Amino acid sequence: MTETAIAHPAGDGRPVSPGAGAPPGTPPALELAGVHKAFDGKPALIDAGFTLRRGEVHALVGENGAGKSTLMNVATGVYAADAGRELVDGELVRIRGPVDAAAAGLGMVHQHFRLVPRFTVAENVRLALGRRAGSPAAAAALVAAKAEKIGFPVRPDARVADLSVAERQRAEILKVLLLGARVLILDEPTAVLTEQESDALLAFTARLATQGGSVVLITHKLREVAARADRVTVMRQGRTVLDGAPIASVSSAEVARLAVGATVAPVARPRRAPGGPALTVDGLAHRRDDGGVTLDGLTLSLREGEVLGLAGVGGNGQSELVACLAGLAAPRAGSVALAGRDITTASPAARRDLGLRVVPADRFAFGLIRGFSVADNLALAALRRGRYGAPFGVARRRIRRDAEAAIRDHEIHGAAPGRSTGLLSGGNAQKVLLARELDDAVRVLVAHSPTRGLDVRAAQAVQAAIAAAAERGVACLLISEDLEELMALSARIAVINRGRIVGEMPVEDASAAALGALMVGHA
């Protein structure tokens, strides 16, 4: 496979390692060539290629649906390629499944975690390692030692279902490393991390590379590519359009242009003047089943047509706040009011009837049914309202027509009314969720990490939908760990820390340093 470089001045002058720790002549750690893959007759990979050197951090960039994750899923045996070849350390291999991949030293951390929710972190590791993990106590010790070594705050005895999205991701990374991965493939690993946590994780990948390991960093955050990667590969529409260029030879702007095929304009912040009170949360308190405090007297208010950003390190009460607002969890104290009406004890259905809509952090775990068609996922909420007739005699043609209109209006690429939602890219699946939730009756939107794992263009499409909703008068609570996103869309930004709002400021007064200090408790 050939290496393509674009003549362009380096963005920051950072010296680039040509595969640190690997002697000259060392075969690539992983090589994929001529890979083809189709789903339902639609090509997902077309003559795709990728070469990873031993001892490097290699960024793999492209839009959602470009084929990045599909290519790495082929590499790790999740999918079987229709054509192509794979070499590990210069040897031709046939990876028939994840077990073969692990034996070859390949490990992938997926966006949608592969953990058993009812098990603890240590039990999940023991399930993956089998006899190698030893006794339950030995497995817990393995987790604790590895977590301390790489600086991950993960408790071996914590039940996965009780962890935040960020904590679950750390547990997944630990599991893959304990399985013996020499090639670590990370699919959007910093999507749920704060800037400080992202820096720590990326520093870890650099250390792993200098020790002879190899890291594939699938990311949409181009600043991460510029800051940490040694080389970059770009994919578009299933093809490799830039193959392993040294990072010093290509700018972030050029990488973005290659990924999307055009320049994408930033989303404008909503300018509508805020209206009356839309959502009021007063003194909300919540505890886990084990007694741990998740919300501790949390208070905030949101007005019509306003975007309120909520920043914070994952695991500080964001998920519990969303659950309490949606009616999926009962607070121990405090109240929630929608347009002045107390809904603290109202059912989730009653809250929807009053105009509350929620976009959860994990779209497939809590928002969409992966095995349902696009049309059925879009119709789920309207079925209860009777839009499509009686439960046992639904108007399928009307469901299909509505789905076709939503696919067209929201530009849901790769979708068809009858196609399984699970086959869509992350960005297009998120568009399905937004198309359903941003209906004509929405008054308050609670969006938790709505652009997590999305590429530049898909993320901006989601942000544009939120901004447009605010311009129509919808009150939007945007919970995100991406400070750039919060500062781009929000009129005000509040910070949650240990279940409390510890600071709030107009976006004009906000800075990454000030918000970061509040987030980590050093304000």
Name which of 212, 218, 222, 180 is nearest 56 in CA terms: 212
The single residue listed with the structure tokens 């789905």 is: 403
Both 252 and 325 in one domain: the answer is: no
What's the pTM? 0.65
Mean per-residue pLDDT, 43-68: 92
**Is residue 10 situated within a structural domain?**
yes
Place 492 in a pLDDT band, splitting at 50, 70 and 90: very high
Distance CA 68, CA 506 (A): 38
**16 has a pLDDT exceeding 50:** no
**231 has a pLDDT exceeding 90:** yes
**Is residue 187 situated within a structural domain?**
no
Both 282 and 393 in one domain: the answer is: yes
Both 233 and 310 in one domain: the answer is: no
Residue 61's domain spans which residues?
1-95+219-263
Both 10 and 85 in one domain: the answer is: yes
Contacts of the segment 115-118: beta carbons below 8 A, 24+ positions apart = 115/160, 115/168, 115/171, 115/172, 115/175, 116/160, 117/159, 117/160, 117/161, 118/159, 118/160, 118/161
- Name the 3-class secondary structure at 34: strand
Question: 213 — phi, psi (to 5°)?
Answer: -75, 175
- Give the CATH number of the domain where residue 235 resides: 3.40.50.300
Mean per-residue pLDDT, 417-421: 93
Identify which of 103-112, 329-338, 456-465 has the greatest average pLDDT: 329-338
- DSSP 8-state secondary structure symbol assigned to residue 364: I
**Is residue 112 situated within a structural domain?**
no
Name which of 294, 321, 338, 342 is nearest 498 in CA terms: 294
Q: Are the beta carbons of 147 and 177 closer than 8 angstroms?
A: no
Per-residue pLDDT of 268-312, as tens digits, reads: 889 889 999 999 999 999 998 878 899 999 999 999 999 999 999
Place 260 in a pLDDT band, splitting at 50, 70 and 90: confident
Distance CA 518, CA 502 (A): 7
Per-residue pLDDT of 188-198, as tens digits, reads: 887 666 666 77
> What pLDDT does 19 receive?
52
Place 12 in a pLDDT band, splitting at 50, 70 and 90: very low
Identify which of 45-59, 99-113, 135-149, 504-518 has the greatest average pLDDT: 45-59
How far is Cα of residue 303 from the mean position of the Cα atoms in its chain?
Answer: 28
> What pLDDT does 114 receive?
86
pLDDT > 70: what percent of the chain? 93
Place 500 in a pLDDT band, splitting at 50, 70 and 90: very high
Both 333 and 392 in one domain: the answer is: yes
Both 339 and 230 in one domain: the answer is: no
Both 440 and 513 in one domain: the answer is: yes
**Is residue 122 situated within a structural domain?**
no
Average pLDDT of every residue of the chain: 87
Distance CA 424, CA 509 (A): 39
**Is residue 111 situated within a structural domain?**
no
**Is residue 177 situated within a structural domain?**
no
> What pLDDT does 190 receive?
77
Both 295 and 426 in one domain: the answer is: yes
What dihedral angle (degrees, nearest 10) is formed by the CA atoms of 309, 315, 321, 324? 160
Q: Which residues pair with 37 in a beta bridge?
A: 45
Distance CA 28, CA 18 (A): 12
Both 287 and 410 in one domain: the answer is: yes
> What pLDDT does 22 receive?
66
- Name the 3-class secondary structure at 283: strand
> What pLDDT does 386 receive?
82
Per-residue pLDDT of 435-447, as tens digits, reads: 999 988 999 999 9
**Is residue 200 situated within a structural domain?**
no
Q: How far is CA 416 from CA 69, 198, 237, 378, 461, in A?
A: 21, 36, 18, 12, 19
Q: Which residue did the predictor score with more confidence, 516 or 115?
A: 115
Name which of 217, 178, 175, 212 is nearest 198 in CA terms: 217
Both 229 and 322 in one domain: the answer is: no
Distance CA 450, CA 433 (A): 10
> What pLDDT does 8 receive?
27
Q: Which residue did the predictor score with more confidence, 203 or 60?
A: 60
The single residue listed with the structure tokens 């600086």 is: 151
Mean per-residue pLDDT, 214-229: 84
Both 361 and 507 in one domain: the answer is: yes
> What pLDDT does 15 receive?
34
* Domains contained in the chain, number: 2
Q: Are the beta carbons of 48 and 239 closer than 8 angstroms?
A: yes
**DSSP labels for 209-232?**
HHTT-EEEEE-S-HHHHHHH-SEE
Both 253 and 298 in one domain: the answer is: no
The amino acid that residue 83 corresponds to is A
Which of 1-15, 33-47, 337-351, 371-385 comes out lowest in average pLDDT? 1-15
> What pLDDT does 10 receive?
31
Per-residue pLDDT of 369-416, as tens digits, reads: 999 999 999 999 888 888 888 777 788 899 999 999 999 988 888 889
What angle do the packed helices 136-150 and 121-129 form, to 10 degrees? 110
**Is residue 110 situated within a structural domain?**
no
Conformation bin of residue 65: beta by default, left when phi > 0, alpha when psi is -120 to 50: left
